[in-house]
Every structure is written in C-alpha cells, then in structure tokens.
A and B are shown apart, each in its own frame.
Chain A
Amino acid sequence: MLHIVNKSPFEKDSFTSCMAHAAESSTVLLIEDGVYAALKGSSVEDQLSRAKVVALQSDVAARGIEGNLVDGIDLIDYPDFVDLVANGDGVQSWV
C-alpha cells in the first residue's frame, strides 16, 4: 500500500501515526510539509526505517532542504508519484 503524508511531523502526528501503522512492505510518500519528516538528525529520523520512504522532489526543493535530508531517501517527481499510485495495491492519505 502507498501511504501519503503531507504534514510536518513537528506540528501534527500524521507521520508518526502513519509509520506506526504502515506495513513494512508499504511505501510512504512525503509531500507538501510532510517532506520535513526526512530531515537528517531530526527527532523523528529513527522512524524512517520502518518502511520505504520517498519524498516529492518539487516540495523538497521549494522548502530548500534537499541538502538536509537523510541519506537514502529517494526523491521522486509527479510522474513517479502516478506510477506509485498505479502500481501499488491501494493508497491512503494521512490528512
């Protein structure tokens, strides 16, 4: 399943709740303010290993944090986003 998180983990519990409920086989896509969850050295960094986490490149770039992300986070574009939705077996937004 594809999980989409669009909230900063420092403001709302969406990311933490998502990581606590996502199956290990799932992919978590960070968009909008959700991309802040991928910051290196943050208080939620250790949660990133619980599933495959990717982030939307355009939202990362808009916020100027591309150089601050943890290693190994794949940055994807909108066509990749569409592929994740189409190729996965379901999608859930943690609004």
Chain B
Amino acid sequence: MKISVQVNEGPYQHQASDSAYNFVKAALEKGHEIFRVFFYHDGVNNGTRLATPPQDDRNVQQRWSDLSKEHELDLVICVAAAQRRGIVDDGEAERNGKDATNIMDGFRISGLGQLIEAGVQSDRLVVFGD
C-alpha cells in the first residue's frame, strides 16, 4: 500500500516527529511504500543540519536523513513554511539573498502542492502534529 505522512511539529519540542518516524519505519518494514513525508508548520525544522543534540539523546534530524538514504524516502519541506522559519537550501539562498544554507542531506524544499499530490496519489495520508 502507498502511504504518505505529514509532520507538523519540530523535533524535541513535540513527540510528533518521533511518532511519525517510528510509524514510517514500521510501515517500510512491513513492505509498504512511503510515497512521501511532508514537513509543514514547525515540522520544517526537522530538516536542519545545524542542530547539535546532546550525545545521550536521539538525533531526530539525522535519523530522518539516514532513513531517507536507506529507503530513498522523499522528504519534502514546505517552501512557504521554510521561508518563515529559515530553512534554506542552495536555491532558496540564491532566490532570497541569504548568506548560508542549513538543509539536511536527504530533504528537499518544495511547494504545498506536494502535500496535495501526496493525498491524491497515496492510499492513506497520516498526519502527525501538535
């Protein structure tokens, strides 16, 4: 089955990203296809590579990135939400004249249409949020 997931909260502040990660991992292990994981609202903060969590804690951002590499996951950060919160890739840095980027490997920034498309294309869309 084709499943997509929406993550609406940032890492550490809220458990939503952890729940979504565990769900996606279990779905993959059961042989389902994860069509897309869409990060919205503060969820875009799951895609920064500049975080340094304590060593005795999980690394939420890195964990998503690793899972993406392992399973070729499509991790999409909403551009409108990212612009408000300062998540930047090369294209965004150039377009908006920023002096740095911070996007984590494995994530890409794209439009809200990607969320709607995920809803249309997937058999299920599961929302994790506050």
What are the interface flags for A61-79 relative to B under an 8 Å C-beta threshold, 1 for contact and 0 otherwise?
0000000000000000111
Check if B29 is an interface residue, CB within 8 A of chain A. Answer: yes
Interface residues on B, range: 20 to 34
- Beyond A86-B1, A95-B8, A95-B129, whether A78 also contacts B23 by CB under 8 A is yes
- Beyond A81-B26, A91-B126, A95-B129, whether A31 also contacts B3 by CB under 8 A is no
CB proximity to B under 8 Å, residues A73-95: 77-79, 81-83, 85-86, 90-91, 93, 95
- Beyond A78-B26, A79-B29, A86-B32, whether A91 also contacts B124 by CB under 8 A is yes
Check if A27 is an interface residue, CB within 8 A of chain B. Answer: no
Q: Number of residues in A with C-beta < 8 Å to the partner?
A: 19
Interchain Cβ contacts under 8 Å between A and B, 30 examples: A4-B126, A6-B16, A6-B19, A6-B129, A31-B19, A32-B15, A32-B16, A59-B15, A77-B26, A78-B22, A78-B25, A78-B26, A81-B23, A81-B26, A82-B3, A82-B23, A82-B32, A83-B30, A85-B27, A86-B1, A86-B3, A86-B30, A86-B32, A86-B123, A86-B124, A91-B126, A93-B128, A93-B129, A95-B129, A95-B130
